[in-house]
Structure 1
Amino acid sequence: MKRLGFASVPEQPHYWLADARAQACLIDVELTSKPDFEGLVRFDLEVKDGRIASIAPLGTAPAGAIDLEGGLIWPGFVDVHTHLDKGHIWPRSPNPDGSFRGAAGMTSADRSARWNAEDVRARMEFGLQCAYAQGTVAVRTHIDSHAPQGEISWPVFRALREAWAGRIDVQAASLMPMDFFAQPQGLRLADIVAESGGALGAVTRLSGGGHDALPVEFHGLLELLFRLAMERGLDLDLHVDESGDLGATALVEIAHMATRLGFKGRIQCGHCCSLAVQTDDYIAATMRVVADAGISVVSLPMCNMYLQERTPGRTPRWRGVTLLHELKGAGIEVSIASDNCRDPFYAYGDHDMLEVMTQATRIAHLDHPFGDWPLAFSAVPAEVMGLEGRGRLKAGAPADLVLLSARFMSEMLARNQADRIVLRNGKPIGTSLPDYRTLDQFVGHGA
């Protein structure tokens, strides 16, 4: 058994969790209890043979059930935008000034000098261990794929996906500047992605450039990227407009291109920061075409706040976060994810989606009411990743759950939930995090 303050979860095939709370939007059945002021409902949950057998009204559980005393239950989290291959290089390659250009330069130098298969695998494995212990069930990572790195890192991804099967669903998308796809390496990379079952991804800027005014080559390169994906039946997952520059308008052009070419795959656009500084008319027009094209947007609030508008001696005037409320209100699928961890693009992070939820709620005002924002960390990214049945609490789904002693959102968001219980197939797993010292042989310790 593992204790959660007051509750013990048995390692047996059949048991009940009594008096649980969860956000109503996460529950796939109608309960007699009504949501409270934080959107929470109370219920009992039955686990049998590794799956959720039933979700029943409060008081249904038989005598001897495990009493959660109103503690929160979450479905396993889905982290749809990460960079596991960059992770944890901060001790050996810190960002000199915290800027986007500083991050890009340090990462490029580190990649060229040190990213062999052993190094990449060790750091990616560390990130997956952290995510698993903290309740994440699915991850999509972007893979830096500049030649020759693509030939090194994609085999590592495939090996890790196999090794972690049954614990975390691991997906990948390529990552390199758009202009590289016009070179022979671009064609080769598209084939590697297709052979690996990945998504075709790029940053919508040129090599060495920033997310600012679109270059004259932009539309031709964007069409090339689309056609490479279409020829191979691949989805697209793009880094878009990651700046506060008014000239960064790739998002609307991606939507127009998708519509013009009749693109049938999924398109996810990450960041989209510059949308927040555009005029109201431009924002409305952009959101219309993005919604019509069926594009989903993923926001990375922690990383964006860290990088955007960083100027020495000057307090940032904006949060660097895209228009989450407006996009969702326009009918656009919105996810929220972790992005970078302990690398030049973000010095912090721990692959913990509860931290992401806590910070995003505070940063982007995803509260009062909480509404269905919890879906942005679970069911919506699961749908983007094509993972049916993930991200909700429903009968028949795997009992991959996160149990908290916190009873209310206010309690959960106020305190670190280090005492959480993580269930996989109904059984508690170890939640001890890997020691940073295990990476010292690869990244040093900063001393």
Structure 2
Amino acid sequence: MANEFMSLPEADRFALTNVTLPAVCVEGFDAPQHQGLISVDLVIADGRIEAILPASTAPADLPYADLRDGMVFPCFIDMHTHLDKGHFWDRRPNPDGTFMGALENVRADRMANWSAEDMRARMEFALKSAYAHGTKLIRTHLDSIPPQPDISFPLFSEIREEWKGRIELQAVALLPLESVLDEAIFAPIVATAKRHGGLLGGATRLLPDFDRILETHFRAAADNGLDIDLHVDETEEREVLTLEAIADTKLRLGFEGSVTVGHCCSLARQDDDTAKRVIDKVAKAGISVVSLPMCNMYLQDRHEGRTPRWRGVTLFKELAAAGVQTAVASDNTRDPFYAYGDLDGVEVLREAIRILHLDHPLDEAARVVTTSPANILGRPDIGRIAVRLPADLVLFSARRWSEFLSRPQADRIVMRNGKGIDRRLPDYRDLDPILEK
């Protein structure tokens, strides 16, 4: 494997010396920190981390690679994506970049093109990109407007099995919440999600009988042993604040499953008293929040001929300070909801730090694409660096946060089970057969 800044030993047991780690990602080892970074040596044996040692103390007889203080992360977790939507921008772009433009063009493309063959090509392209960038776990939402679930979920299950050991996959049925009260539509979606080991999702908005919709949704999840992951309040409109109703419903029903909410944009539009009341309820209910800063900044407050006045993201710091589990993720990639992106954890972290001001200090910034999303997704074995865990790591030449955040880190090494992988990204031309219909 060629790389611009270093190469790895070929031995089954070797050391990475003079390594800089984000302390928030490390378990079972303490050392003096600077900006949340610590200096260590790592001993890798048979694809796993054998030891974490003080810098420059690895056994002298081991083959080694000297990182010269380069940073190392655990592989990334991308906990909110849309693999079924990705990479058809060239076929059907969003002409004005608005939320409604996105809805209309996704709907049109889904009806015209979303066969298993089409979706497989786009999902495989996305997964190849994510893997090359260093991602190990992805949760994707799958549009579940009938008859699409009968195509998307069986395909997802096939791909999940094919990618096992490279990228672990979870899926959420993204269903229209107005369909929840229609048993003929809702029951088959629930059954499909359960059959394929998925979650129940949906996008909230102000609807008649909204409280009954939420209760029916939660009860169906409870009865079928399903967790919940919802798109919530993805709007700048202050009057749309369904997050509070979700917290109330979880508390009232005593729902014991995991509940994750994404976006929560309108929370940032509330007065301080309202925001605090809602945040306290979210914390009490044990609901996790994932922010999608790149997509939200792209869509929110977009009006023709007018410069946006706000960033579109939720009250991330306030939620975290209240004890809410928080993370960030990619969301859409190269589709009408977001024209850009490549499922790159470095890009997500870099942009999140800038957009959400997760710096000053940067001590815990790395958690939002590693340990925190892993914990939320029920995978505490991923997204951290610890003895006996697989040596699934991303190695950088950058030594400090300023270096890391100032370049795209295109020369990174991705290590899986102690070996460097082929980091060549798929060629966009690979998609031409499905995009040039």
The answer on whether the counterparts of 1:2 and 1:9 sit within 8 Å (CA) in structure 2 is no
C-alpha separation in 2, matches of 1:12 and 1:189: 49
Q: Of the candidates 31, 37, 58, which is equivalent to residue 40 of structure 1?
A: 37
For the 8 Å contact 2:81–2:138, the answer to whether it is kept is: yes
Amino acid at match of 1:379: T
- Tell whether the 8 Å contact from 1:2 to 1:10 is kept in structure 2 after alignment: no
Distance 1:268 1:373 in 2: 20
After superposition, the C-alpha distances for 1:345-404 in whole angstroms (9 at most, x for unaligned) are 000001101000011111111111012221111111111211131111110111000000
Shift of 1:165: 0.3
Q: In the alignment, what sits opposite 2:225?
A: 233
3-state DSSP of counterpart to 2:244: helix
Output the CA distance in 1 between the equivalents of 2:196 and 2:209.
29
| TM-score, with length taken from structure 1 | 0.95
Contact 1:4–1:404 (CA<8 Å) still a contact in 2?
no
1:19 is paired with a residue whose SS is: strand
CA distance in 2, matches of 1:256, 1:428: 47
| Paired AA for residue 331 in structure 2 | D
Distance 1:180 1:109 in 2: 20
CA distance in 1, matches of 2:277, 2:237: 18
Deviation of the 1:139 alpha carbon? 0.2
Name the amino acid aligned to 2:251: T
Structure 1 partner of 2:56: 59
Q: 1:146-225, aligned counterparts within 5 Å? A: 146-183=145-182, 184-205=184-205, 214-225=206-217
> Which of 227, 233, 241 is the equivalent residue of 1:249?
241
Separation in 2 of the partners of 1:14 and 1:177? 52
TM (norm. structure 2) is: 0.98
Q: Does 1:18 align with 2:17?
A: yes
Superposed displacement of residue 132, structure 1: 0.3
Matches within 5 A, 1:228-377: 228-377=220-369
Does the 8 Å contact 1:12/1:427 carry over to 2? no
Q: Which residue identity is paired with 1:53?
A: E
Identity of aligned residues (%): 50
Measured against aligned partners, the alpha-carbon deviations of 1:398-424 in whole angstroms (never above 9, x if no partner) come to 100000011111101101111110000
| Contact 2:37-2:363 within 8 A present in 1 as well | no
Distance 1:2 1:29 in 2: 32
Hey, what's the Cα distance between the residues in 1 that align with 2:403 and 2:227?
39
The 10-residue stretch of structure 1 (180-189 or 124-133) with the greater mean CA deviation from structure 2: 180-189
Matches of 2:337 and 2:9, distance apart in 1: 41
- Distance in 1, matches of 2:300 and 2:209, equals 25
- The Cα shift of 1:145 comes to 0.8
- Determine helix, strand or coil for the equivalent of 2:7: strand
Task: Tell me the amino acid that sits aligned with residue 46 of structure 1.
Answer: V
> Which shows bigger deviation, 254-263 or 365-374?
365-374
**Cα shift at 1:2:** 4.4
Letter of the 1:246 counterpart: R
Equivalent pair of 1:51/1:396 in contact (CA under 8 Å): yes
* Counterpart residue type for residue 353 of structure 1: G
Q: SS state of the match for residue 225, structure 1?
A: helix
411-420 or 177-186, larger mean C-alpha shift: 177-186
Q: Per-residue deviation at 1:10?
A: 2.3
Counterpart CA distance in 2 for 1:92 and 1:199 is 29
In the other structure, the counterpart of 1:210 is: none
Shift in Å, 1:4: 4.7
Task: Indicate the residue corresponding to 2:384 in structure 1.
Answer: 392
Work out which of the residue numbers 403, 418, 421 in structure 2 matches 1:426. 418
Distance in 2 (alpha carbons) for counterparts of 1:407 and 1:4: 15
What is the alpha-carbon distance in structure 2 between the residues aligned to residue 372 and residue 270 of structure 1?
Answer: 21
Q: Following TM superposition, by how much is the alpha carbon of 1:236 offset from its aligned partner in structure 2, in angstroms?
A: 0.1
Could you list the per-position Cα deviations for residues 95-141 of structure 1 after superposition, in whole angstroms to 9, with x for gaps in the alignment? 01000000000000000011011001111111000000000000000
Equivalent residue pairs, number: 434
| Runs of at least 5 residues in structure 2 that lack an aligned partner in the other structure | none
Q: Secondary structure at the match of 2:391?
A: coil
The alpha-carbon deviation at position 24 of structure 1 amounts to: 1.3
- Counterpart CA distance in 2 for 1:316 and 1:444 is 34
Q: In the TM superposition, what whole-angstrom CA distance separates every residue of 1:271-304 from its partner, at most 9, and x where no partner exists?
A: 0000001010001110111011000000000000
* Deviation at residue 30 of structure 1 after TM alignment: 3.1
The letter of the residue matching 1:312 is E
Q: CA deviation at 1:53?
A: 0.8
Q: AA paired with 1:62? A: P
Q: Secondary structure at the match of 1:84?
A: coil
Does residue 1:407 correspond to 2:405, yes or no?
Answer: no
Where does residue 139 of structure 1 map in the other structure? 138
Is the 8 Å Cα contact of residues 20 and 43 (structure 1) preserved in structure 2?
A: yes
Unaligned runs of 5+ in 1: 206-213
Work out the CA distance in 2 between the residues paired with 1:216 and 1:152: 30
Determine the structure 2 residue equivalent to 1:211: none
How much is the aligned-residue C-alpha RMSD, in angstroms?
1.1
Distance 1:55 1:71 in 2: 16
Amino acid in the other structure paired with 1:60: T
The separation in 1 between residues aligned to 2:124 and 2:300, in whole angstroms, is: 29
